[in-house]
Structure 1
Amino acid sequence: MDEICSGLFVGTTNEAGNEVLLRECGVDRVVSLTHGGPETGFPSGVSIDKVPMKDGPRNERDRFESAVEEVLSGLCSSDSVLVHCSRGASRSPAVAATALAIHRGISIDEAFKQVAAHREETDPHDALVRRAATASHTFQQ
């Protein structure tokens, strides 16, 4: 699990189920982008927003935008938010970068660079990068 900026984390399904890790990092909210949860379940005491998404070109625009809205809601409420997908490499970095771009008023390219600088595993599918660019433009209008 990596902190992308103050209060915004990107991680894996297993990390989303790690109560000790979430507590140590001060995570208040988890935005789950997978169709299943961690083997151990989600910890109690943490708000869970489930927005199951598919990776790549099969990803639905409304799901992507709903996930971004959940992250923004947390950030605007001063919650610490973990965005997770299976490996924390494609869906969650794309959603986190989009929310970061909107929240900070920066370009989507700059947001992706910031995510990649803090999360080595970042490797979003090209379709999600395009979806992020479209969504960030839509939200910032």
Structure 2
Amino acid sequence: MPLTASSKKKSAPVARNELKVLLVDDDSFQLEMISEVLKSLGITDITLASSGAQALQTMAGRPQPFHLLVMDLHMPGMDGFQFMESVAKTGYQGALIIVSGQSADVMRAASLVAELRRFTLLGSVPKPVGRSALSALISKLA
């Protein structure tokens, strides 16, 4: 299970129970499952979005920015690559974790795109998302 990380800027640590997380996935089962994993890691402020467009709307309407985006790559309408492009244009300063059932090559490509768009990429995790893999990535942030 490849985990990649960027050595980009690191913001001040935030306690897990204070992290504001936006979870983006078109699969309601995955949203629920990953949300439960995040809760088991002590993260309580979790906002769910079932599409890239809904996530962008949520981000625009929120007075305080999210510390972390956890996003799927394969979504109808706006895939993860298009979502990253749109989020980069907003000036998002938080961190990013990519979760996907796509091949290792696609995951590597997505990680490269995230780094080129200057995201603070904590890493990528294949689905199904395991608690230990997600915890290891989040520990880089909080």
Q: Same fold (TM over 0.5)?
A: no
Q: 1 or 2, which has the higher helix percentage?
A: 1
Answer 1 or 2: which has greater strand percent. Answer: 2
TM-score, length basis structure 1: 0.38
TM-score by length of 2: 0.38
